[in-house]
Structure 1
Amino acid sequence: MATNINDLAAEINRALANYAHGVGEDIEKVAEKVAKEGAQQLKARSPVGATHRYAKGWRAKKVGNQWVVHNIHYQLTHLLEKGHAKVGGGRIPAVVHIAPVEQEMINEFVQGVEEAIRG
């Protein structure tokens, strides 16, 4: 098929649009995978109380155009991750469990995006 020189810009734009659409879909799949795996990792690494409610509370859901990992018992996340003061004095030590998973998720997402762009 011969392409007219006047249609060259249109052909290049069409090819770039198809590439961008494909990369966008791949990045969306990577984001979903990373979020769901991150929620599973947090379930596995969270401190476990008598009822396991906090550990079971991790969810990954899509909000607008982005994936969010959160706990339905959100009040506890900061207290457990950073530690807190007791009512009668003293402190409860921190149980760092969110930060390592967050860093792993960031690294995995960046790697997945780079692979999606390379094709």
Structure 2
Amino acid sequence: MAGKSVGIDSFATVLEQSLSDYGISTAANVKAAVTKAGEAVKDQIQSTAPRDTGRYAKSWSADTVKETASSKAVVVHSKKQYRLTHLLEFGHAKRGGGRTKAQPHIAPAEKAGFELLLSEVEKGVKG
């Protein structure tokens, strides 16, 4: 609408169209940011996950669970090794007594993904 001259009769229509275009553009930018952040979280977890056989690290996935015209939800999860996530993240009691050391790898990735999402959304909204 920059540099466009409109009459008072068509002002409401032009304004409505401009706001609609902005909303569509912003939604697309936010959806792209959500996808990028989800993949970044998955990649960071895979690279920092404890490794024994490597199956746990490879089991992480970022899946889109819901997508509409204006929103998107991505879930990062361990597909087959989900039972190990809290045990490795927080440590656990051992059979013969004592505890294993916590190996935080999910929480740092979540925090980094949140920061990435915020910066990408700000970048997308500002243009």
Instruction: Please give the TM-score of this superposition, normalised by the length of structure 1.
Output: 0.93
Structure 1 residue 88 displacement after superposition: 2.4
Aligned residues: 118
Q: What fraction of aligned residue pairs are identical, expressed as a percent?
A: 36
Higher helix fraction: Structure 1 or Structure 2? 1
State the TM-score, normalizing by the size of structure 2.
Answer: 0.87
- How far off is 1:2 after superposition? 5.7
Give 2:12's aligned amino acid. Answer: A
Q: Which runs of 5+ in 1 are unaligned?
A: none
2:64 partner letter = K
Provide the residue aligned with 2:59 in structure 1. Answer: 57
Distance 2:91 2:45 in 1: 17
The Cα offsets for residues 61-80 of structure 1, whole Å up to 9 and x where unpaired, read as: 10013011111111111111
1:92 paired residue number: 100
Distance of 2:65 and 2:94 partners within structure 1: 35
CA RMSD in angstroms comes to 1.3
1:31 to 31, 34, 43: 34
Is 2-11 or 74-83 further displaced after alignment? Answer: 2-11
- Structure 2 gaps of 5+ residues are 67-71
Structure 1 stretches of at least 4 aligned residues deviating more than 4 Å after TM superposition: none
1:92–1:22 Cα change, 3 Å: same
